Amino acid sequence: MKPAIHDATARQYAGGPSPVPSRGGNRNDRARRPGLSDIEAGIASLLDRSTHDLRHLWREWRRTEAPRGLSRDLLIRALAYDLQERADGGPSAALRRSLQTLVRASERGALSVDPGHVPRAGTTLLRAWRGRTHTVLVQKDGFEYEGQRYRSLTVIAERITGAHWSGPRFFGVNK
């Protein structure tokens, strides 16, 4: 075992950037991502622009005209979002796929648009609550509990408990 070093020169790099490249090193050598202050400055500059300039910026960034009824405030908010999206890279591919799935399900008129929380039709859900076992049958267009049809598990969970509960969480079907 080596003796402890009490020499201050052994700790000359303490507190500063690490001289080891994989541990920080010179941060200016990396691809620079705009800092929060750059984004804030960009958003602040939007506030100083005229509505005409904001619409021109919208057209330049989105390659389409801004909706006619869109207020100045909403123009600024949307353009601020665009600034943040450009700096941070936007939503992930997984999130975009999930949103597309939700849009398609909504267009079909599905009752529940999140397929991750709805068991297949014919599934029986059991939940013991205060000494009583509650049985819910999953159907194609909703749920059946005690002979009545419901559109969501949450309504059933509220009926059972007398308080607001997340239905999928109450029945243990969430991801």
| 59-93 pLDDT, tens digit each | 999 999 999 999 999 999 999 999 988 888 888 88
- How do residues 149-172 score in pLDDT, each as one tens digit? 999 899 999 999 999 998 989 998
C-alpha span between 91 and 83 (Å, rounded): 13
The per-residue pLDDT for 148 is 95
Tokens of 14: 């303490």
Question: Model confidence at 49, in pLDDT bands (50, 70, 90)?
Answer: very high
Report the predicted TM-score, pTM, of the whole model to 2 decimal places.
Answer: 0.42
Torsion angle, CA of 58/64/69/70, rounded to 10 degrees? -30
In the numeric block, which tokens belong to residue 4?
Answer: 């402890």
- Residue 161 CA to residue 132 CA, distance in Å, equals 11
Q: Which tokens belong to 84?
A: 């943040």
Which pLDDT score is estimated for 109?
74
Burial class (CB in 10 A: 0-12, 13-18, 19+), 117: middle
**% of the chain exceeding 90 in pLDDT:** 44
Give the model confidence (pLDDT) of 98-120 as tens digits: 889 888 877 887 655 555 666 88
